[in-house]
Amino acid sequence: MISPQDRLEQIQRIIVTAEQMRSIESRVFAAGMPIAALMEKVASKLAHRIAALYPLPNPRRVGILVGPGHNGGDALVVARELHFKGYEVMLCCPVSKLKELTEGHLRYATSLEIPCHPQIESLQTCDLLIDGLFGFGLERSLTDPIAPLIEQVNHWHQPILSIDLPSGLHTDTGKVLGVAIRATQTLCLGLWKLGLLQEEALEHVGSAELIDLDLPLTDVLAVVGDSPLVQRGTAQAAIATLPLSRPPTTHKYKMGHLLLVCGSRRYAGGALLTGLGARASGVGMLSIAAPESLKPALSAQLPEALIIDCPETPEGAITAFPSSFSLDSSFDAIACGPGLTSDATAIVEQILASQCPLVLDADGLNILAQQGTIPTLQNRQAPTILTPHLGEFKRLFPDSTVTECRVTAVQRAAQQTGAIVLLKGARVAIADAQGNTRINPESTPALARGGSGDVLTGLMGGLVAQAIAKLPKETSEDLRTSSISVDLIQSGAWWHAQAGILAAQERTELGVDAYTLTQFLIPALRQQVDAADSKTFSN
């Protein structure tokens, strides 16, 4: 039997579409759970959490927006429970036609002398607003009388807490359906909705939290599968995937040998930042192929690295590897791209033709796009990880529907190329060719600084090299490829984001420079591991 802690961890990772959530609810109701009973449970948990987040005496006056469906019913039961806790509750129900259960709760709220007004202006003096207009499944654009009401509320200054999703967001894509509530906080019910983890929703979701409704795992997994394709990253899953434990008799050659190919005279920092990211990964051996003019600077900052000084153009870009150098089996992985410039096309072509696992970023991606992304990668037999930002992604996949839905766009790109594709952004989305998809739920705008991606490339390269190094040398290419999973790549993205979050807390949200970011990689991981150990011990 699964423990409550393991069950909650599993629930925290599951992401559902509107259709999947309907199917899960249908199974629960068919098994005998009355809709009214589930509504009472939902509202009880919501009221308890709201009271903890916004304790009396301030705020005291709470305004609640009531919609026509079961989301409105949840809001009305929350209103009743907050009323009993001593809050001064006011309702605004802008529609006259309600579902039967919701209408019954409105009658009871009125009998308790909780005032209900059709006009939103009556709630303007409230200390807190609760959005219970629409839950999951909304697909049409909002119009009168709801749209102008939401526009008005969004211009007020009170905190807004949304139940399940901010009203007006598409459940799956996170798109705004005409207009949507800009919530301060969203309490998602039962299971994470895909739209809440899409970048398009970020300006409306605020701080998001899952309210566990004790939905039976058997019903949930019957719909999403025992190993759901789309999952939300968690600290526990990331820590479990990272190479944090080492055999007592290990040595540097067993901990991975990573080759970085990066940097130019114009973008010398690209090589350094990528190297510092790789250093933090714990990789056993680090080699850096860079223009020969960068060797003194790299050696000074990364004395443990083997610097392969390469011939360079008059402008300072790599033209070739040294004559004595070959891309043979001595490297477990290659990370390539930061700071190269397009003058390094021949080098990137040679790397793409190799049979070494590869993390490709920045100018490496731009050169790949020029060569033809899909046919080039379909010819590669070794594991390939692409880490584009949005602009690079559009160049790599010009026919992509990334503006419609980042998740489906990344899935399609991975399927077309056979690569693992990581699309950078405030909500990193990662997919492999089989459709396995991970979404990193946390980040910080402080990472919006030049060089942050270079650090991620080095960190990711080091993790890939360590994963490959654990395999016997005679391992087949299929097994080598399967050893580099979306979970490993997600762990790297999570680690990078946690470093940014910690650095921003100690520095400033205006931005954390990439060099400072590298200094927070180890402290951030240590903090997260300690927190996970403490949580496990306390449980």
- Phi (first) and psi of residue 132, to 5 degrees: -125, 35
**How far apart are the C-alpha atoms of 186 and 166, rounded to whole Å?**
7
SS3 176: strand
Q: DSSP state, 141?
A: P
Q: Does 140 appear as a known binding residue?
A: yes
Q: Does 454 appear as a known binding residue?
A: yes
Length of the chain, in residues: 539
Q: Does 58 appear as a known binding residue?
A: no
Residue located via tokens 């190919």:
261
Q: Does 131 appear as a known binding residue?
A: yes
Tell me if 299 sits within 8 A of 327, measured CB to CB.
no
Q: Does 137 appear as a known binding residue?
A: yes
Task: Determine which helix (DSSP H) or strand (DSSP E) holds 410, and give its type and residue range.
Answer: helix 406-417
Residue located via tokens 């990880």:
385
Q: Does 73 appear as a known binding residue?
A: yes
The beta strands (E) that lie in 356-457 are given as 358-360, 384-386, 420-423, 429-431, 437-439
For residue 114, which of 137, 152, 80, 81 has the smallest C-alpha distance? 80
For residue 381, which of 358, 411, 364 has the smallest C-alpha distance? 358
**How far apart are the C-alpha atoms of 286 and 304, rounded to whole Å?**
8
Q: Does 389 appear as a known binding residue?
A: yes
**How far apart are the C-alpha atoms of 237 and 217, rounded to whole Å?**
18
Q: Does 264 appear as a known binding residue?
A: no
Tokens coding 163: 């139940």
Cα–Cα distance list, 458 to 233, 321, 333 (Å): 21, 20, 11
Q: Does 111 appear as a known binding residue?
A: no
Tokens coding 499: 């470093």
Cβ neighbours of residue 225 closer than 8 Å, sequence gap 6 or more = none
Tokens coding 246: 């080492």
Cβ neighbours of residue 530 closer than 8 Å, sequence gap 6 or more = none
Q: Does 361 appear as a known binding residue?
A: no
Cβ neighbours of residue 401 closer than 8 Å, sequence gap 6 or more = 408, 409, 412
| Other beta carbons within 10 Å of 209 | 11
Q: Does 339 appear as a known binding residue?
A: yes
Tell me the one-letter amino acid at 343: D
SS3 118: coil
Tell me if 136 sits within 8 A of 74, measured CB to CB.
no
Q: What is the 3-state secondary structure (H, E, C) of 492-530?
A: HHHHHHHHHHHHHHHCCCCCCCHHHHHHCHHHHHHHHHH
Tell me if 164 sits within 8 A of 213, measured CB to CB.
no
Q: Does 162 appear as a known binding residue?
A: no
Tell me if 498 sits within 8 A of 524, measured CB to CB.
yes
Radius of gyration of the chain (CA): 26
Q: Does 440 appear as a known binding residue?
A: no
How remote is the C-alpha of 143 from its chain's centroid?
32
Q: Does 71 appear as a known binding residue?
A: yes
Q: DSSP state, 311?
A: P
Residues placed in the known binding site for K(+): 71, 131, 167
Residues placed in the known binding site for AMP: 453
Residues placed in the known binding site: 70-74, 131, 135-141, 164, 167, 339, 389, 453-454
Residues placed in the known binding site for (6S)-NADPHX: 70-74, 135-141, 164, 339, 389, 454
